[in-house]
Amino acid sequence: MPRYALKIEYNGTPFAGWQRQADQPSVQGAIEAALARLEPGPHTIAAAGRTDAGVHATGQVAHADLTKDWDPFRLSEALNYHLKPAPVAIVACARVDDDFHARFSAIERRYLFRLVSRRAPMVLERDTVWQVQNLLDGAAMRAAAAYLVGHHDFTTFRATMCQAKSPVKTLDEITLEDIALPNGTEFRFRLRARSFLHNQVRSIVGTLERVGARSWAPEAVAAALAAKDRSACGPVAPPQGLYLTDVGYPKDPFA
């Protein structure tokens, strides 16, 4: 059976997350339903990451096995036609080897978190950023983030229901960009690692926001990490500011 890799963009607002659910809309369910319109029978696709309810993606990757030998461009066009009006799009499609696996072949994942500090309510982007009204200190958040880069036990920054076998992960990079707005500031956190724990990014950003608001000193983040205790974490950031932006593989299937 031919295997295809799909690069997927979606707005997670109307979905209960990536993973298919019996009684709620999901991104996986929407794509599998579109596949069923092209080839009869049940379809099961595998993704690089199972994003939570309300989380978005610009570079999610999944793979699907089909019976017909599709031209990748025609397959993506057909899927996009049948995905309407759901806020999901196939932005690239490629034929891949049978041993390619969207999740297990991945060697890197990148996330973006958008945090906006301004008094006036967000209108156009209220479902795609996390807005806070207090002023934030970007330099303090960068100083705190530096403590988290590297190989650590991230028990403090993972959900209690996380199913990962180990809380030990290597966080390769955290960068923070400040973007001046007419009446506020947008902070863009970019995180890179081979893999992430459940709620790790949102837990980190929520904690760093407390540093930016000067409720925590930067050094308190190092102490929270060392505690290896979920109760030492700051508030978990809401999902709407989070985006899965890229998944890396030894060989780029879309090159």
The two three-digit tokens of residue 209, written as one number:
């926001």
Q: How far apart are CA 126 and CA 42, in angstroms?
A: 36
Q: Which amino acid is at 6?
A: L
**Choice among 52, 127, 178, 252 that is catalytic:** 52
Buried b (16+ CB within 10 A) or exposed e, 63-72: bbeeeeebeb
Sign of CA dihedral 15, 19, 23, 29: positive
Question: Does 52 participate in catalysis according to the annotation?
Answer: yes
Residue of 214, 225, 228 lying closest to 139 (CA atoms)? 214
Spatial neighbors of 98 by CB under 8 A, at least 6 apart, are: 3
Q: CA end-to-end span of the chain, whole Å?
A: 22
CB atoms within 10 A of CB 23: 5
Active site residues: 52
